[in-house]
Copies of this chain bind each other. A is one copy, B any other.
Amino acid sequence: MRILVVEDDKKVGRFLEKGLQEEQYAVDLCRDGADALYFAQTNTYDVIILDIMLPGKDGFTICREMRENSILTPVIMLTAKDAVEDKISGLSEGADDYLTKPFSFEELLARIRALFRRNQDYKTKVLKAGDLEMDPLRRLVTRAGKKIILTGKEYALLEYLLRNKGRIVTPVMILGHVWDMDYDGTSNIVNVYINHLRNKIDKYSSVKLIKTIRGLGYQIDENQEI
């Protein structure tokens, strides 16, 4: 269980980090929205605890931007005392729960447990397709048990394909999610990277996982023959 805590107040941040670690959670702590987005995009968390009052981007904005980037991790917002407006706004921006400061640590733990219970089936930690496995926690990819070393973009592309296993993803979708770009009609970069991935993942296996759907896009398909 891995938790991202976004809190600018050092004292509170440390308190949360320490307390959660004692409960055997792996905790990453960061202090502003830019870091939060970066962490959320590069790691897989089970829960994100997000303070609303932050320097720069506030919690609402961060939450919305995460949702826009397809980060569906449950979010618990920490709101200032009695900020009822905050609660409403927070939940409408995509937060899953909120907690009013000051709060008891026990209550936070209870909410985390509740949230995780609810969300458990969504998060299969290790992504699989056939004998290909991706462990986002370790950023480790293996095929038939053999480790495969991927660059950043290769990894991001493969993760996107795996999270959409069985579905066809178009170059436009890939460009949007992996490169955060709009398609301008010229770049063939997705193409090139699919090629890179195939060289690392499919080249030495008779079962080709990355399929081309001509005219549409690509698809990871573990059921070879039907």
A residues with a Cβ closer than 8 A to B are: 11-12, 14-15, 18-19, 22, 26, 28-31, 35, 39, 42, 84-85, 87-89, 91-92, 102-105, 118, 137-139, 142, 145-147, 151-152, 166-168, 170, 172-173, 176, 182-183, 213-216, 223, 225-226
Asked whether A104 lies within 8 Å of B84 as measured between CB atoms, the reply is yes
Point out the residue from B91, B168, B226 that lies within 8 Å of A146, measured CB to CB: B226
- Taking CB as reference atom, which chain B residue is nearest A114? B22
Asked whether B147 lies within 8 Å of A167 as measured between CB atoms, the reply is no
Closest beta carbon of chain B to A18's beta carbon, Å: 6
Asked whether A102 lies within 8 Å of B84 as measured between CB atoms, the reply is yes
Q: Kindly state the separation between the CA atoms of A203 and B16 in the bound complex, as whole angstroms.
A: 38
Asked whether B226 lies within 8 Å of A147 as measured between CB atoms, the reply is yes
Q: Kindly state the separation between the CA atoms of A12 and B15 in the bound complex, as whole angstroms.
A: 28
Given known A-B contacts A214-B151, A225-B147, A31 and B85 have beta carbons under 8 A apart? no
Q: Kindly state the separation between the CA atoms of A30 and B137 in the bound complex, as whole angstroms.
A: 30
Closest beta carbon of chain B to A141's beta carbon, Å: 10
Point out the residue from B11, B172, B214 that lies within 8 Å of A88, measured CB to CB: B11
Given known A-B contacts A35-B172, A145-B226, A166 and B182 have beta carbons under 8 A apart? no
Closest beta carbon of chain B to A184's beta carbon, Å: 11
Asked whether B85 lies within 8 Å of A102 as measured between CB atoms, the reply is yes
Ordered by A's residue number, 17 sampled pairs between the chains whose C-beta atoms are within 8 Å are A11-B89, A15-B91, A18-B91, A22-B118, A28-B173, A42-B216, A84-B102, A84-B104, A87-B105, A88-B102, A137-B167, A138-B167, A139-B168, A139-B213, A146-B226, A152-B214, A152-B215
Asked whether A138 lies within 8 Å of B152 as measured between CB atoms, the reply is no
Closest beta carbon of chain B to A128's beta carbon, Å: 16
Most B CB within 10 A of own CB, among A18, A35, A85, A91: A91
**Residues on the B chain within 8 Å of A103, using CB:** 84
Given known A-B contacts A146-B226, A172-B30, A213-B139, A14 and B167 have beta carbons under 8 A apart? no
Given known A-B contacts A92-B15, A167-B137, A31 and B182 have beta carbons under 8 A apart? yes
- Taking CB as reference atom, which chain B residue is nearest A42? B216
